[in-house]
């Protein structure tokens, strides 16, 4: 898990998001954790969040690599 700042090409950096790898719901019951309800497949995900705080929205993914997840978050 790592935290990054949103840095879109046309604006100043703002907020933050975290990236993480999940095995998918086949191996772990993420459905017991409401913030991870959308995780159904293994891969990298990103989610709006500040370090030490609860996520702000659902996780987005899966992506093959962390770099793909970061690029999507900044798009």
Total structural domains within the chain: 1
Residue/partner pairs of 21-29 with CB below 8 Å, 24 or more apart: 21/45, 21/66, 22/59, 22/61, 22/62, 24/62
Q: What domain range is 67 assigned to?
A: 2-73
pLDDT score recorded for residue 34: 53
DSSP code for 70: H
Per-residue pLDDT of the chain (75 residues; tens, 9 = 90+): 788 887 877 777 678 899 999 886 654 544 455 555 567 788 999 999 888 778 888 889 999 999 999 999 998
pLDDT score recorded for residue 25: 61
| Sheet arrangement for strand 43-48 | 2-6, 14-22, 43-48, 60-63
């Amino acid at each position: 898990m790592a935290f990054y700042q949103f840095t879109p090409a046309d604006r100043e950096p703002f907020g933050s998001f975290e990236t993480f790898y999940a095995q998918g719901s086949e191996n772990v019951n993420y459905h017991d954790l409401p913030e991870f309800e959308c995780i159904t497949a293994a891969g990298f995900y990103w989610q709006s969040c500040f370090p030490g705080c609860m996520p702000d929205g659902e996780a987005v993914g899966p992506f093959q690599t962390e770099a793909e997840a970061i690029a999507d978050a900044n798009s």
